[in-house]
Structure 1
């Protein structure tokens, strides 16, 4: 069923509870990357422009003990949001209680406030993360309607998403959540073909369900990154000291048998004797690795193979880098894949969050993709074909 979008709601004069994903990196109290904040601005600005007030809230990191709270306050985020919006964002350093309730009662149309890290409620019994019924009901009581724009937590049933949605009359997706549903959900359920999936990263175990789901849905599945070596060893090749999940070899064989010609593996690798940025390295065919070498990237021939496999594709989903892209010597495979996708003509190109999103942004390719997901775990589960609690709990049209 179609989900309500923020534009479907009557907002004038309403107090809008808005779950955002402001789980941003902090160093010495300073935000080092505000992409998640800027991504939520269109929804926030729309709600304010409609004559409503915004009560924004998010988690920030993992909080299990009182000691974990240090450096996890949302105060720096509220300050940055004030700068980006050009208007004051009142910050209330509480997750419940009289001060929070007073601030909510005083907020006027066109104003915005933010309350404290929702995970502070996890210190005493994981009330947020375990979707405590009373907490969800309490937070829901603070507003008139609920807008969920936090796709990054959509794969979890928390008090701040499912709990609120279950206890409020009307809920809707924000513009960012809408994009995620449209692009990632659309790529899996109703893609324009050919659909090509590119999967990388370290472990096969992280992508098993994705591969199994995409075998039936994708026209091609390209595999790179550290996970490629488990497949290569399952084919009987020597992989030296490369990363390998020995307990997943039989599964890798099964996946290759199911996928047949759909599954495309690298034919060369950039090998080194040490996992180090300055390690001596060489490009070698995957069948010719020495016993004391490890593969840290795909080679030029594999980049060419993957580029050719992408030709003519109309939908591309990419999740996971092709090598240790943080080290310049082993970033060429990821750069090559970025360039190949960026140069596709007329294709819908989607990055499923996580390290591949970081790589594309860091390498300067962010504006070359149709959509870059803000949720690593959520996008993976969406690609697996799972229902996401945070999406399912949004009101239907």
Structure 2
């Protein structure tokens, strides 16, 4: 269990600075409602209901990218989820922001402008350096406590994440608390039966690193997506390379070939590979081909096949714990959702500890009418989830733990 303090430990009637992760898809200039707003609303509501003065920080996009925008729209979406007004100020630590912060009454909520509009925020630097930025030194004196609820950004060393816990009493919000506990369970919990990991997605480098790091913790890996195809290539099948204008496989193969081959060599008995793959047929419908019948890759494979799903389901149903990192196919297209949804349905029907990680994969739960309640935890984190699985430190968690020792 973590050794940080939580919002239960904050003294009454505090002015609290809270870091959320409301980073969202932007369409036509407007943020889109998503699971992050709903999750963070719990922390915000609890703090406001307790009578604290609540000031929120969050980021959206990065400078130079299309999704780098103001948080004005985010305040409206968050207010709907919290059930209270969320005021917004188009400033982060200037006079306008400071006046709005000082004017807050008990139970009132204020969202500051996008933290990444501050030049002090983004460079990855040590917490000590971040604590000495004008951003932190100007804002901190106006607060009694700092709360980090942005677990999904906890792998970053940005000012709003690692600077404030050095100069203010610091606490974990509900999202930080629950995400940390669930995502580190694979390393910290003992399970009575088999532990299974479903590995997919397009970022093969991430998941191969996870497979290597969890060598002793996971009894079997069920593979799909880009990583699955690269492992099939390592096993001698003529797949796992780019065709046409595709740019997914060859570069990742070159970067990870030795690790893939060593993992396959050392843990081959624990690794289940797809026995068939799905692609778009000439008629535009889903078509499937057995891996052993592929002589040459001539098209992109977009999902694992029906036989693979049938093979993976029993392995899931006899597991005591199942962790998911990445989708097994392009589930956004209903024709190629069978692998991802089939595996999620099997997990939902199994009495096991289950964590579904990564924003993309968790979206399939909502898209295909599954219930989050059928899983132990559905993570909203991507990079931080990978780090937790591989046992790498999370800088924003480390500074919370250090703060708890000082308090």
* TM-score, with length taken from structure 2: 0.89
SS in structure 1 of the partner of residue 214 of structure 2: helix
1:348 aligns to what? 353
**How far apart are the structure 2 equivalents of 1:191 and 1:356?**
25
SS in structure 2 of the partner of residue 47 of structure 1: helix
Match status 1:249 vs 2:257: yes
**How far apart are the structure 2 equivalents of 1:181 and 1:208?**
22
Cα drift, residue 88 of structure 1:
2.2
1:379 aligns to what? 385
* Residues 128/322 of structure 1: CA separation in 2 closer, same or farther (3 Å cut): same
Cα drift, residue 33 of structure 1:
2.3
- List per-residue Cα deviations over 1:337-373 (Å, max 9, x = no partner): 111111112x111111232112222222242222111
- List per-residue Cα deviations over 1:210-249 (Å, max 9, x = no partner): 1111112111111111221111111111228665343133
* Residues 142/34 of structure 1: CA separation in 2 closer, same or farther (3 Å cut): farther
Count of aligned pairs between the two proteins: 385
Match status 1:217 vs 2:217: yes
Q: Structure 1 residue runs of 4+, over 4 Å off?
A: 68-71, 240-243
- Contact 1:240 1:294 (C-alpha < 8 Å) held by counterparts: no
* Residues 77/228 of structure 1: CA separation in 2 closer, same or farther (3 Å cut): same
2:176 aligns to what? 177
SS in structure 1 of the partner of residue 215 of structure 2: helix
**How far apart are the structure 2 equivalents of 1:235 and 1:223?**
13
Match status 1:287 vs 2:292: yes
Cα drift, residue 296 of structure 1:
1.6
* Residues 108/241 of structure 1: CA separation in 2 closer, same or farther (3 Å cut): same
1:34 aligns to what? 34
**How far apart are the structure 2 equivalents of 1:89 and 1:203?**
36
SS in structure 1 of the partner of residue 226 of structure 2: coil
2:363 aligns to what? 358
1:370 aligns to what? 376
- List per-residue Cα deviations over 1:319-354 (Å, max 9, x = no partner): 111111122221111111111111112x11111123
Structure 2 unaligned regions, length at least 5? 243-247
1:109 aligns to what? 106
- List per-residue Cα deviations over 1:185-233 (Å, max 9, x = no partner): 1223214242211110124212222111111211111111122111111
* Residues 296/80 of structure 1: CA separation in 2 closer, same or farther (3 Å cut): closer
SS in structure 1 of the partner of residue 63 of structure 2: coil
- Contact 1:273 1:294 (C-alpha < 8 Å) held by counterparts: no
Cα drift, residue 9 of structure 1:
2.0
SS in structure 2 of the partner of residue 107 of structure 1: coil
2:166 aligns to what? 166
CA RMSD of aligned residues (A): 2.1
Structure 1 unaligned regions, length at least 5? none
1:80 aligns to what? 77
- Contact 1:89 1:114 (C-alpha < 8 Å) held by counterparts: yes
Instruction: Give the 5 Å matches for 1:144-159.
Output: 144-159=144-159
**How far apart are the structure 2 equivalents of 1:56 and 1:240?**
45
SS in structure 1 of the partner of residue 397 of structure 2: helix
2:22 aligns to what? 22
Cα drift, residue 70 of structure 1:
8.1
**How far apart are the structure 2 equivalents of 1:310 and 1:392?**
34
2:245 aligns to what? none
- Contact 1:226 1:296 (C-alpha < 8 Å) held by counterparts: no
Match status 1:89 vs 2:94: no
Instruction: Give the 5 Å matches for 1:273-284.
Output: 279-284=284-289
Match status 1:328 vs 2:325: no
**How far apart are the structure 2 equivalents of 1:114 and 1:294?**
44
Cα drift, residue 164 of structure 1:
0.9
- Contact 2:25 2:67 (C-alpha < 8 Å) held by counterparts: no
